[in-house]
Chain A
């Protein structure tokens, strides 16, 4: 069913068609191999760039197409339907770009956005540290002002697009004693002296995505690369998540869709006891549940993306709901898809075991689903006060 049931504009339909063509023709033939080798899909990134996909989320003044979270999510969904890992070469760059889109000044946007729009440079979002996971405020990377520069020291971990990105949105603390109010955001170019790439992680899923450590060793970042003001970094990160979570939700949605399609197809082909397994209620109901939950997730994901684009004050909790719900659906659907394919599903010749492994991360990153529920619950307290006022 997918996006066709939604009232897309001609332009949105074209984007979906392009993403699908890339996914089917270029990504599908290599996804299993890259999953095995953990190689980064440089050729696919080139195709994303050539097809204008990175332009979608960049404003037209900076060589973009001036579209938003909704369009990017439609693309991410289509790409993830075939490979959740390779899709991250797209979606991860969007995540890394949001701090610039939301808080960059005119000069910074002019400088950073055009190469992101063309696909010449990927962006990466760099918040997580060994001691700063769900407690994102506990950033230990430091930034010390020296003249026109900030000197960064510390280590980031599990950074999507680490090493392959050209631009890094990095969160560092200018004064640890200030705690959360010391966190400050910077854009760091890969070629900055003192910046290096640490170890590359060996992951359960999304293995075609590059996940690395980043090491800052007296890394000299121009003060002109600071986003917003000193001490506003935490706000930059949180606002970014409000915008980016529909993207993770779309990734989960696409993975679920891909797994459901495989299960549906297989159940109609596979014969046991002289009939297709789809004729058995035990199987057909599993697949009916998949379709139902995916459609429910899609409604929520699209709605949250539209609210993010509309800068709706409640887009934060909606994004959290979409992210948590869609990723829980993705996990359930992929696990069940493996069950429908059973022995074949467990084998690497079929794509569903990979989809199951890829799905898991969507419940974890950009805030675990437990954190999402915290975001939602906190918002609900405000809802209560609104209810009481009426």
Chain B
């Protein structure tokens, strides 16, 4: 049996985020939680690998509060076989360093694996650090920004890594972790049987003790970084708005506006 492990994160649905007009802060209450959009591509790729290889099990892992169970079930409905929820008060306030440590310890408990997948970054923290962190803890290579997989088999991958000016073609032998981009695939709509499996699935909850995590490396105390303060950026306001129908000279007006502002 071959094994693919996918790391996902439950995040607030940014499209539903609202800003309080008085305090200019984000309103988090009532915002639905979704699977981090980039992770959907990782899930889809894992399921495609399973379909291609056969005899392959896809396990999806997340670290989060008990409610993150819903994200894992959604992943199962898309075709993942089973899931693990890492949930423990001791994990709370972990930064990316500590989070990647916890996730790598979970992989250690699972044991054998062939491929690890994650999304490029989460849309709440936007750090893109956890994927490379997990791989480094495990001592395996990690390729970020993967937008095309030419060939993948157990112990081998040939892929494209997107960069500023195009892409690199990269080959890896052995185990590896990939963080993926949207371009890689189109996530499927959950199947009926997948949804039924998701309802029935028993999802184990692993604590810090279960995965043998060093208490000094997890949670607030285990995190090298500290948030000093969080604040809202200044609100962007709309400016001039002109109807081209009423004012045919609007292209010229735009040109002089940009000139005045020294933009062009």
Q: Which of B188, B189, B192, B194 contacts A15 (CB 8 A)?
A: B192
Contact, CB under 8 Å: A52 / B188: no
Chain A residues 8-23 with CB under 8 Å of chain B are: 11, 14-15, 18, 21-22
Contacts of B190 in A (CB 8 A): 18, 51
Chain A interface size, as a band, is: 10 to 19
Task: Verify if B195 is at the interface (C-beta below 8 Å from A).
Answer: yes
Interface size for B (C-beta < 8 A) is 9
Contacts of B194 in A (CB 8 A): 52
| Binary A-proximity of B182-198 (CB < 8 A = 1, otherwise 0) | 00000011111111100
- CB B196 to nearest CB in A, in angstroms, measures 8
Task: Kindly state whether residue A47 has any CB partner on chain B within 8 Å.
Answer: yes
Q: Do B193 and A26 have beta carbons less than 8 Å apart?
A: no
Query: Which A residues lie within 8 Å of B191 (CB)?
Result: 18, 50-52
Docked complex Cα distance between A55 and B192 (Å): 9
Q: Which residues of B contact A11 (CB under 8 A)?
A: 192, 196
B192 touches A47 (CB 8 A): no
Q: Is there contact, CB below 8 Å, between B192 and A21?
A: no
Q: How far is the CA of A25 from the CA of B190 in the complex (A)?
A: 12
The residue from A22, A55, A56 contacting B189, defined by CB atoms under 8 A apart: A22
Tell me which residues across on chain A come within 8 A of B195, comparing CB atoms. 14, 18
0/1 per residue, B176-215, Cβ < 8 Å to A?
0000000000001111111110000000000000000000
Question: Complex formed: what's the CA distance from A52 to B188 in Å?
Answer: 12
Q: Mark A1-41, 1 if CB is under 8 A from B, else 0.
A: 00000000001001100100110011000000000000000
In the complex, chain B residues whose CB is within 8 Å of the CB of A18: 189-192, 195
- How long is the Cα–Cα vector from A56 to B191 in the complex, in angstroms? 11
Cα–Cα distance between A25 and B194 once the two chains are bound (Å): 19
Of A18, A25, A55, most buried by chain B (CB within 10 Å of CB) is A18
- Do residues B189 and A21 form an inter-chain contact, with CB atoms below 8 A? yes
Cβ-based interface call for A228 (8 A): no
- CB B35 to nearest CB in A, in angstroms, measures 15
Task: Kindly list chain A residues whose C-beta atoms are within 8 Å of the C-beta of B196.
Answer: 11, 14
Q: Is A65 an interface residue (CB 8 A)?
A: yes
Q: How far is the CB of B57 from chain A (nearest CB, A)?
A: 19
**A26–B189 CB distance below 8 A:** yes
Task: Give Cα A65 to B191, complex, Å.
Answer: 12
Complex: A26 Cα to B187 Cα, angstroms:
11
B192 touches A52 (CB 8 A): yes
CB pair B193–A47 under 8 Å, yes or no, is: no
In the assembled complex, A53 has its CB within 8 A of some CB on chain B? yes
Cβ-closest chain A residue relative to B198? A14
Cα A15 to Cα B189 with chains together (Å): 12
Question: Is there contact, CB below 8 Å, between B189 and A65?
Answer: no
Closest to B192 in A: A52
Q: How far apart sit A26 and B190, CA to CA, in the bound complex (Å)?
A: 13
Give, as a whole number of angstroms, the nearest-CB distance from A13 to chain B: 10
Q: How far is the CA of A48 from the CA of B106 in the complex (A)?
A: 36
Given contacts A18-B191, A22-B189, A51-B190, 15 further A-B contacts (CB under 8 A): A11-B192, A11-B196, A14-B192, A15-B192, A21-B189, A26-B189, A47-B188, A47-B189, A50-B188, A51-B189, A51-B191, A51-B192, A53-B192, A56-B192, A65-B193
List the 7 closest pairs (A to B, CB-CB), nearest first.
A52-B192, A52-B191, A51-B191, A14-B195, A21-B189, A52-B193, A51-B189
Q: What would 7 A/B residue contacts be, using CB atoms closer than 8 Å?
A: A11-B192, A14-B195, A26-B189, A50-B189, A52-B194, A53-B192, A65-B192
